[in-house]
């Protein structure tokens, strides 16, 4: 069942843009592809690194696959800029692979929303850096 949360629709103010970013961080930290996919329009278009996805079904499948590889994932997002129906975010997340190697992934996302507040476009550029477990900054 979908949680009833306030719907944050464009045009964004600083307050609603920050709330949208926090809602995304909270949702992604659940690692629940079904819940997360509800924030995207049915025909949402993504570029994530070198992958291109269209629609909720592809988004759900991508996220399920992602968290099979990226174990103990923890994410932080920060509002970078906003205007009208767009938000730009800086983020980092930490995870480890099946071999126990920890990683910190740094990136930027550009989001575009439809009139109902669903994300219709997401562009994400991400770089991974190997770290030691002792270097982790993000913990549950």
pLDDT > 50? residue 22: yes
Rounded Cα distance between 125 and 4, Å, is 31
CATH placement of domain 14-135: 3.10.450.50
pLDDT > 90? residue 6: no
pTM of the predicted model over 0.85? yes
Rounded Cα distance between 106 and 11, Å, is 27
pLDDT tens digit string along 53-103?
Answer: 999 999 999 999 999 999 999 999 999 999 999 999 999 999 999 999 999
Q: What are phi and psi of 32, to 5 degrees?
A: -110, 95
pLDDT > 90? residue 28: yes
Q: Give the pLDDT band (50/70/90) at residue 5.
A: low
């Amino acid at each position: 069942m979908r949680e009833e949360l306030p719907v944050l629709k464009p045009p964004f103010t600083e307050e609603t843009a920050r709330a949208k970013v926090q809602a995304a961080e909270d949702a992604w930290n659940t690692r629940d592809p079904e819940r997360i996919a509800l924030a995207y329009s049915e025909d949402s278009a993504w570029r994530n690194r070198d992958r291109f996805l269209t629609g909720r079904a592809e988004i759900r499948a991508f996220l399920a696959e992602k968290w099979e590889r990226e174990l103990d994932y923890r994410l932080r997002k920060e509002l970078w800029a906003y205007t009208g129906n767009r938000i730009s975010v800086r983020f980092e997340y930490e995870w480890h692979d099946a071999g126990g190697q920890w990683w910190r992934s740094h990136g930027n996302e550009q989001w575009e929303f439809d009139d109902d507040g669903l994300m219709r476009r997401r562009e994400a550029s991400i770089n991974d850096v190997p770290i030691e477990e002792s270097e982790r900054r993000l913990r549950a």
